[in-house]
Structure 1
């Protein structure tokens, strides 16, 4: 099938969905290894050198995020190998992950994810416009055209996009300073809803450099969603699926949520409570940890890291209270309240079966 044929059937909605899905896949694949293992490896590296090597590996994986995003997006468009690597290369160029100095080229991190997304979108468009017109010359010419046009536009946009993303992050931080409780609730509730949609919470948190209490509140919002879908689905879904929603991602409940969106109400109520607790107990995190909840203990480990005194008995008790005891107690109570007293839904509404 040629690209021209595929392009005819490609709608704006499909285009956007493919780009956003590829973005989420690339971010999760690149960040999860570091999020799960980096803190543990940092603690164990002084005692066993092998953990230092593992830390280097997972950090390197994190630095490849723009390449992974470009590849995943190209894959969603069913591009052939030369088209796929062209999009990946252009995406990396426009990400801003490289800093050119007179003496060397320095990898500065993952770059700007918003600009990465825009560059990848342009690169895909260039590939679709060219289609199969280059024929046998595609391996020789296509990478150059895609990288110069798309990567060049990405580099041109980078300074402007960076200013915007930094401004958004600073805006969130300033709002927390002005109204911490209200912002804690808003961030936690927002993330509890976003994690139950096709949008990536990790992508959003990383893109706007969400850190501090904003990151902690986001993590607790994800926890509320995971616990809510676990408790609600436990009665009607296989135990393995419910555990996957709890320990993996609650996104697997999307089918039930689309059919009956109101089952999200208990999650929102629980997230609001946890958002307040994030501010009261000063639960913090990083742009990378935000959006993971307690999956892989990413949220709790990073929260302990920022607590005064580190992993003391009192701090560990707070973590257990905020990440486990209160979320489960609140999740059970709000699900019971909404289902049996307010009659907003039935237990069967949590079923993932059509």
Structure 2
């Protein structure tokens, strides 16, 4: 790989992160935006069809990530397709269920797709495929069109599936650690859970998967969602004059993971995020802001977090204060404090979109 393609480990990781960030935006934004809007309309046939359309588009997120990672390396269309296919397989977004009946031929066993798959394993599988492409190069010659999908696509896809249970095990360990916070005093619990989810939402780990896996409920789920919301607002506040309006809008609508490259390259962005999350979490315990396992990882996306707390009995005025006003005020204070006063960073350098 080093002979013809002089790529450092740092460059390799940055390319994978950049492709992943853009793939997440493209894959998640349609469903994140339209799903919440379409709920406001009567469920006519066309509305139902459009809802299903954007959800199916979301299922292709691992495929998009793989393709965009390959694009970062300048691969030709065939190599790009091979990496994309491998990433899709390794993500686990589609699994085989032997207990389900296949509606096509009525045989037992069917393939089922849901969610976006495991983002970490998607990145790892795509990385394996990229390495194989770089190592093999043009050695397949005229039969490359046949051997590349079989050897590289099938091989790296298989490796991805073998890694998947272990990667999911890592996610489960993180979830178990977070779940231990629920035994602490309410305010401390709220702060620790909010900060944990604030960090996770800009990492490759799925906050939704964590919330569902450990069945966060009540105040713990509300804390998790507020942590996600706080990160969203911090990124919007810091991105407002730094990035193009489309980037800021995408972050505000739910594509916080597009800032993953910034987290890995400039970890200092965690300072305002954790500061805002910690302070924003205090009212969660004071006002009993509740949530559910399914709302814990969403935050402001589709207003899932705020609506769940209102459904649990929180009045609208208090909800607006806790979910929007307090995090926004604290985020602005963090910008002034950490950039202007303490001069820990320049937002133009650490919050500029790196995808």
Q: Map residues 1-354 of structure 1 onto 2, 5 A cutoff.
A: 7=5, 9-46=6-43, 48-100=44-96, 101=98, 102-189=108-195, 201=202, 203-206=204-207, 209-210=210-211, 212=216, 213=221, 215-226=224-235, 228-229=237-238, 247=252, 268-280=274-286, 281-282=288-289, 284=291, 290=297, 294=300, 298=301, 301-307=303-309, 309=311, 315-333=315-333, 343-345=341-343, 350=347
Q: Deviations over 1:7-59 (max 9, x none)?
A: 2x10111111111222222222212221222233245243x332211110111
Q: Deviations over 1:176-202 (max 9, x none)?
A: 34355334324544666x59xxxx627
Aligned to 1:15, the other structure's residue is in SS state: helix
Q: Partners in 2 of 1:28 and 1:245 — Cα distance?
A: 7
The Cα of 1:320 is off from its aligned counterpart by 1.1
CA RMSD of aligned residues (A): 4.0
By relative contact order (CA 8 Å, sep 6+), the higher-ranking structure is 2
Under a length normalisation based on structure 1, what TM-score does the superposition of the two structures give?
0.75
Q: Deviations over 1:199-244 (max 9, x none)?
A: x6273234853454254033233144136527xx77xx79969975
Q: Partners in 2 of 1:33 and 1:289 — Cα distance?
A: 21
Q: Partners in 2 of 1:145 and 1:29 — Cα distance?
A: 28
Residues 82 and 15 (structure 1), Cα distance of their counterparts in 2 relative to 1, 3 Å cut: same
Are the counterparts in 1 of residues 236 and 252 from structure 2 also a CA contact under 8 Å? Answer: no
Q: Partners in 1 of 2:243 and 2:30 — Cα distance?
A: 28
Q: Partners in 1 of 2:272 and 2:157 — Cα distance?
A: 45
The Cα of 1:290 is off from its aligned counterpart by 3.7
The Cα of 1:127 is off from its aligned counterpart by 0.9
Are the counterparts in 2 of residues 65 and 110 from structure 1 also a CA contact under 8 Å? Answer: yes
Are the counterparts in 1 of residues 194 and 278 from structure 2 also a CA contact under 8 Å? Answer: yes
Are the counterparts in 2 of residues 87 and 120 from structure 1 also a CA contact under 8 Å? Answer: yes
Aligned to 2:315, the other structure's residue is in SS state: helix
Q: Judge which range, 321-330 or 83-92, deviates more.
A: 321-330
Q: Deviations over 1:147-193 (max 9, x none)?
A: 2211111122222322332232233233234355334324544666x
Are the counterparts in 2 of residues 30 and 64 from structure 1 also a CA contact under 8 Å? Answer: yes
Q: Partners in 2 of 1:315 and 1:18 — Cα distance?
A: 45
Q: Judge which range, 126-135 or 159-168, deviates more.
A: 159-168
Higher fraction of helix: 1
Are the counterparts in 2 of residues 224 and 271 from structure 1 also a CA contact under 8 Å? Answer: no
